[in-house]
Structure 1
Amino acid sequence: MSVRMLKALAAALILVLPLVGCWDTKDINKQYLPAVMGIGKGRTDKYRVILQIPNASGKTQFLEKEAKSISKAVDLIRTDSEKNINLVHLRLLILDKELARQGISNIVNFAVRANDISIKGMVAVVDGDFEKTLYHEISPTPEVSSYDFFSEEAGWTPNQSILRIWEAYRGLNSYSEDMAIPMLSNGDRTLFTFKGTAVMREDRMVGTLSKDETLLYNLFKGKYSRGTIEVAQNTSVMIEKAKIKHHRHWSDNGPSLVTDITLGVVIMESPRDKKHAQIEKEMREQLSRQFNQTVKKIRDYHSDVLGIGMIFRPRLSERSINEWKSKWFPMLEQKINVHVNILNEIYLKDPDVGS
């Protein structure tokens, strides 16, 4: 082979090599990128899958199908769609409340096994009309998405729970912890309204927590920043710091746990003549009563949604871990003590205002 031919071949390779690896690249204009997938009970089949596909104008396109499996329903949507369906941008998985009561293990396993769904996506349960919530729209706002409702940088508060797909999968396979799923419905002037939290036992919904009760769940999970609490009339505080210390004990009667919660708060509104000691006392008594009532409610559901089993796990044998939810958790004695420290004040309300 001549030197001239070798140079020509080298030049051709230089031009071709940058294209290697891009041969299967797909035009983004020929793809639908759903942000939300709704999974409900079908009218004529087992599952009904609804995809929300936002566009640049802020409007949303909806595609749906029914089938005996979720993957088949998605495949049917792909079959009838003029563009390819790519789930790589899916941020929120919304489930019908009826399905949550029947069991969601198949749904979670589908989401984890699907190659194009991120396990960092959020999971939520619809409390109300599933179709109305999924098809609900507000005025076109390209900068607002369903995902923002759960973003800690965009409006989230400790009265809302958060559950990611990978956390749901972990909860399904955990001997020492159950999961909690945020509940929502369509809003009036907003995309969603947060209704509370679905308490799960293994893969089935067994009860609910209100927005106020969800605060305790987030405190146990280390998520408490910027939570606002109304202590009494004309008085509200915001949580800035939280410290939790657990005192666990195991006797012949089974496990017991005493939890000390110390909250550092900032006074948001309060009458000028109201002493700090009085506010601390009212808040301590109110939250201690509320948290212990919530603990009893959760225990009656036989759901370890607070993850108490994880606290005892280092002391449990493998057999005791396997028996935690069925044998030991129902025997648990639990108490919560609340301590309050006022850090400073933002605004003092005139006691005559609003009287």
Structure 2
Amino acid sequence: MNPASWKRLLLALWCIPLLTLSGCWDVKDINKRYLPVVMGVDEGEKEAYRVILQIPTVRGGTQILEDEAKSISKAIDQIRTKAEKSIDLLHLRLFLISERLAKKGIGDVVDFAIRADDISIKGMVGIVQGKFEKTLYHQVKPTPEVSSYDYFSEESGWTPSVTIDRLWEAYRSIHSYTEDMPAPLIEAGTDTLFIFKGSAIMQGDKMIGMVSPDETMILNVFQEKYTGGTIEVAQDTSVLIKKAKVRHEKSWTAAGPRLKSSIALDIVVTESKEDESNEEIARKIKQLIEMRAAEIVLKLHKLKSDTLSTGQIFRPMLTEDQLKNWKTEWYPKLKHEISCQVRIRDSIYFKET
């Protein structure tokens, strides 16, 4: 084979891999895309759903796009139609649902988000109390480094007085036989974006009640989500939870399921009256936790909502029929007692006299 033929052969071999490359022909410049981080869903005035998208701007503000339609996906398509840029939902981190829609059911919202290919199932869910539009349109001093979902992030502004409920957890609870979920309940703030009002108590996909921020912390301690939790015992006495462990003793009698839960807390005293000993503080903490826990158990039983997920504890003992009927037949018969043991670690904030 002559040198010219060799050159043509080598050129052909080099071109073959190029034919298999798809390239990046469909990539859109980031300046040509809207990247919403918050989606709000409410009942529309004329249609079934009203969808509001919050889009952060490069100057630290927020741009709002919204529309109404018979379905959530249709409303988003209509927003895309009138927007001058492409809308990418990959960065959605927070879904805010109005209280009036939550009382009718959030199942459609959660199902839409779970089924959508371009929405992360790690996004968080919250319920807006009060004026929905005011909360979604509310803005404070531009702070580019802070976003709405930071208030629910364990790496940012979250505290144990706030519930964290992710999309996949909401979907699981809605379709579960043995548990219900609490959801963070918020409204527009004054000097901050949100004010946390407590937690919405759900039964399936419907909001049926609420608990206060103090009661929410007990729920989180029961789920062993306690990092940074502060309990105020009296006007001048407060403690910080350093460790929490919950143990359960379950049984099944002729009258139905029985459960004894023991919460072991390691705490550090951050403020205290001079005349109160550690033993006295521990006794007050024990009484306070047990009182609030008893109130929560009574409230949840009246609402018939298994927000403490006690059905999960009994799940290995349940037959298939008992499993399906847990919330309607067996949970109302559950006798649940919660006790608390408190151990005070050496205080690092003050010295006792």
Please confirm whether the aligned pair reaches a TM-score higher than 0.5, indicating the same fold. yes
Contact 1:271 1:348 in 2 (8 A): no
Q: 2:173 maps to what in 1?
A: 171
Alignment match of 1:49 (pick from 26, 48, 51): 51
Instruction: Determine the structure 1 residue equivalent to 2:150.
Output: 148
- Which position in structure 1 is the counterpart of 2:290? 288
RMSD: 1.6
Deviation at 1:7, TM superposition (A): 2.4
Deviations 1:312-338 (A, max 9, x none): 001111111011001000111111111
Provide Cα deviations, 1:326-352, integer angstroms capped at 9, x if missing partner.
10001111111111100121334999x
For 2:275 and 2:157, the matched residues in 1 are separated by: 32
- Which residue does the alignment assign to 1:241? 243
Q: Secondary structure of the equivalent of 1:345? A: coil
The Cα offsets for residues 80-102 of structure 1, whole Å up to 9 and x where unpaired, read as: 01111110000000000000000
TM-score normalised by the chain length of structure 2: 0.96
Counterpart Cα distance in 2 of 1:52 and 1:102? 24
1:217 and 1:190 map into 2 onto residues whose CA distance is 25
Structure 1 stretch displaced more, 189-198 or 3-12: 3-12
Instruction: State the one-letter code of the partner of 1:168.
Output: A
Which residue pairs with 1:37 in the alignment?
Answer: 39
Shift, 1:216, TM fit: 1.9
| CA deviation vs aligned residue, 1:4-56 (integer Å, no higher than 9, x gap) | 22222344456666x53422222221110100000001011110000000022
Confirm or deny that 1:303 pairs with 2:305.
yes
User: In the alignment, what sits opposite 2:87?
Assistant: 85
Distance (whole Å) between structure 1 residues aligned to residue 103 and residue 136 of structure 2: 19
Aligned residue in 2 for 1:264: 266
* Pairing 1:4–2:11 present: no
Amino acid in the other structure paired with 2:314: F
Does the CA contact (< 8 Å) of 1:109 and 1:169 recur in 2?
A: yes
What letter corresponds to residue 172 of structure 2 in structure 1?
Answer: R
Residue 113 of structure 2 aligns with which residue?
A: 111
8 Å Cα contact 1:271-1:349 kept in structure 2: no
Query: Which sits farther off after the overlay, 84-93 or 214-223?
Result: 214-223
Alignment of 1:119-138 (within 5 A): 119-138=121-140
Q: Which amino acid aligns with 2:211?
A: L
Give me the identity figure in percent: 51
On the 8 A contact 1:291/1:336 being kept in 2, the answer is yes
How big is the shift at 1:219? 1.8
Residue type of the alignment partner of 2:249: H
Give the TM-score taking structure 1 as reference length.
0.95
Per the alignment, residue 226 of structure 2 pairs with 224
Distance in 1 between residues matched to 2:235 and 2:137, nearest whole Å: 39
Q: How far apart, in 1, do the equivalents of 2:260 and 2:238 lie?
A: 27
CA distance in 2: counterparts of 1:70 and 1:34, whole angstroms: 15
Contact 2:179-2:311 at 8 Å conserved across structures:
yes
Contact 1:95-1:124 at 8 Å conserved across structures: yes
Q: Partners in 1 of 2:24 and 2:253 — Cα distance?
A: 64
Q: For 1:188, what is the secondary structure of its paired residue? A: coil
User: 5+ unaligned residues in a row in structure 2: which ranges?
Assistant: none
- What is the CA–CA distance in structure 2 between the aligned matches of 1:307 and 1:350, rounded to whole Å? 40
Distance in 1 of aligned mates of 2:41 and 2:227: 32
CA contact (8 A) 1:270 1:347 kept: no
Aligned residue pairs, count: 350
Name 1:63's counterpart in structure 2: 65
Structure 1 stretches of 5 or more lacking a match?
Answer: none
Counterpart Cα distance in 2 of 1:273 and 1:333: 39
How far apart, in 2, do the equivalents of 1:140 and 1:126 lie? 22
* Alpha-carbon separation, structure 2, partners of 1:197 and 1:54: 27
Say whether residues 1:162 and 2:140 are aligned partners: no
1:146 & 1:134 partners in 2: Cα distance?
10
Counterparts of 2:319 and 2:218 in 1: how far apart (Å)?
Answer: 28
Aligned to 1:334: 336
Stretch of structure 1 that moved more, 210-219 or 22-31: 22-31
Note if contact 2:222-2:263 (Cα within 8 Å) is conserved in structure 1: no
Distance 2:351 2:155 in 1: 29
Counterpart code for 1:194: F
**2 CA distance for matches of 1:96 and 1:342?**
42
